[in-house]
């Protein structure tokens, strides 16, 4: 058995969770915040059987596409009164996934 810890953007979370549930995956959702862009993320926990890992990863890949976005980044070298932020194009989306081996899982 595996535990998949998936960190995705908030905008991708609803469709991802919906499709995971449609395919009989049990999902636990936690809200989280990213450190770099300080934007909303969602962390999902999935307990899956070894043979279901590839199916779960395919669903995550389908629903969490990478894309570019323009976001303001604070520049500490500039006077905040003149130029409080500089727009920067960054890659967002996708998913960060941690896969852990689980000896036992209980559903009480």
Predicted local distance difference test score (pLDDT) of residue 107: 84
Residue 89 — pLDDT band, cuts 50, 70, 90?
confident
Predicted local distance difference test score (pLDDT) of residue 85: 67
Distance from C-alpha of 4 to C-alpha of 60, rounded to nearest angstrom: 11
- Residue 85 contacts residue 72 (beta carbons within 8 Å): yes
What global pTM score does this model have? 0.76
Predicted local distance difference test score (pLDDT) of residue 75: 60
Instruction: Please give the backbone phi and psi of residue 16, each rounded to the nearest 5 degrees, phi first.
Output: -65, -50
SS3 content of the chain, % helix, strand, coil (to 5): 25, 45, 30
- Residue 59 contacts residue 21 (beta carbons within 8 Å): no
Which domains are present in the chain? Answer: 2-65+93-101 (3.30.70.120)
The pLDDT tens digits of the residues spanning 8-67 come to: 988 889 999 999 999 999 999 998 876 655 667 899 999 999 999 999 999 999 999 877
């Amino acid at each position: 058995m595996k535990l998949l810890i998936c960190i995705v953007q908030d905008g991708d979370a609803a469709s991802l969770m919906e499709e995971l549930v449609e395919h009989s995956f049990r999902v636990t959702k936690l809200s989280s915040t990213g450190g770099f862009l300080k934007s909303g993320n969602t962390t999902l926990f999935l307990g899956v059987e070894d043979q279901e890992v590839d199916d779960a990863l395919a669903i995550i890949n389908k629903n969490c596409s990478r894309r570019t976005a323009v976001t303001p980044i604070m520049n500490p070298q500039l006077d905040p009164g003149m130029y409080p932020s500089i727009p920067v194009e960054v890659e967002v989306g996708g998913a960060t996934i941690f896969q852990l081996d689980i000896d036992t899982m209980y559903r009480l």
